[in-house]
Amino acid sequence: MQLQCAETEESRIKIQQDSELHHRKAEAGYRFLKEDIESSKVSTTKHVLCIDMQQVLFCPTLTHSSVFYQRQYSCYNICIHNGGLNNARMNLWHESIAVRGSAEIVSALLAYIEDHFDILKPGEERHLILWSDRCVGQNNNWKVVNLCHYLVQCHYFTIVEQKFLCSGYSFLPCDRNFALIEQRKKVCKVYVPDMWKEVIESASHKNAFEVKLLQQNDFKDFAPIEKNVKKNPNLKITQYMWFRYSADDPSNVNVRPSHNTFAPWTSFNIFTKKRCKLLDAQIFLYFIMNH
C-alpha cells in the first residue's frame, strides 16, 4: 500500500529497497532455523525448541447460534516442538488456573525443561536454541531473559540461545501442529476444559502429541530472580534477533541484530558481582526446597 501511495520516484525506490531487505531477513531466518534443526538431529548435545501459543480454545463447543454471543470458557495451549526429535508437547491450562502472559510462557517452558533434562554433571555440555516469533508480551521480554540466564546458572545448559523469526514471517513447526488440532476439533465436541486433552492427543495419528495439564503449582514466581536483574538501558531487547547466554560468562548477555553469523556480538552486563552472588544463593535455596 505504501508503494502504491508513493508520491515521488525517490520514495518508491526507498520503499522497494526496504521491502526487499525485509524479505531477505525473513528468508535468512527460515534458513537458519532449518540448519539448526538439521544439526540437532545429528548431535546429542544440541537441542532446538520451537515455542508458540495457540489461539484461545473455547468450551463448550456448541453449534447453537446463541452460544456465539455468550462468554465462553477460555483454555490456553502452548506448543513446545523439539526439532531434533520431531515431537511436540502441548502445555494446557484454563483461565481459572492462570492467564496467558509472559510469566505463564516462561513457567510452561521451565516445566518442559525440568521434565526432559537433568542438571549437567561436571564436565558435561549441552546447548539449547529457542526459536519463536517476536511477540513482546510472550517471548521477547525480560522474563524470558531471566529464564535463559537461570537455565545457565542452574547448569541445565552450558549455552542457551534465543532466536526470533522476522516479524510477519514467523511460521514455525508449531503451526503445523496447531493445524492438525484445528482439523480435529471440527469433528469433536468439547464441554469441559479437560476434554481438550483428548482432542489434542488424538489430533496427530503419525506422531501423537504429548499433553500436560498444567496446575497452579506449575506456574512459578520469578520475582526474586527479577530483582537481581540490572536492566541495562542500552539493551533494547526488542531490537535484537539473537541472544546468547554462556556458562563461561554468566554475567553478560551477547546479542546480534540479525542472524548473520559473521556479525560481531555486542555484550551487555545484566548482573553486578554483588547481585550474582545473591542470585547463586537464591538458586541454590530454590533447588534445595524443590528437589
Dist. CA 95–CA 111, nearest whole Å? 18
Dist. CA 41–CA 129, nearest whole Å? 13
Residues 155-167 have a mean pLDDT of 95
Residue 168 in grid coordinates: 510477519
Whether 275 shows a pLDDT value over 50: the answer reads no
Which pTM value belongs to this model?
0.88
Dist. CA 126–CA 247, nearest whole Å? 11
Tell me the sheet residues that pair with 51.
80
Would you place residue 289 in the very low, low, confident or very high pLDDT band (cuts 50, 70, 90)? very low
Q: How far is CA 87 from CA 31, 83, 202, 211, 263, in A?
A: 20, 7, 14, 11, 32
Burial class (CB in 10 A: 0-12, 13-18, 19+), 122: exposed
What pLDDT digit, counting tens, does each position of 84-125 carry?
A: 999 999 999 999 999 999 999 999 999 999 999 999 999 999
Higher per-residue confidence, 288 vs 16: 16
What pLDDT digit, counting tens, does each position of 1-54 carry?
A: 887 787 888 888 888 888 888 888 889 899 999 999 999 999 999 999 999 999
Domain definitions of the chain by residue range: 31-290
Compute the mean pLDDT over every residue in the chain, rounded to the nearest whole number.
Answer: 88
Give the range among 11-15, 127-131, 188-192, 196-200 with minimum mean pLDDT. Answer: 11-15
Angle between helices 142-153 and 102-116 (to 10 degrees): 20
What pLDDT digit, counting tens, does each position of 63-82 carry?
A: 777 766 677 899 999 999 99
SS3 of 156, please?
A: coil
Dist. CA 128–CA 42, nearest whole Å? 14
Q: How far is CA 34 from CA 78, 115, 171, 173, in A?
A: 21, 25, 12, 10
Neighbour count for residue 37 (Cβ, 10 Å): 20
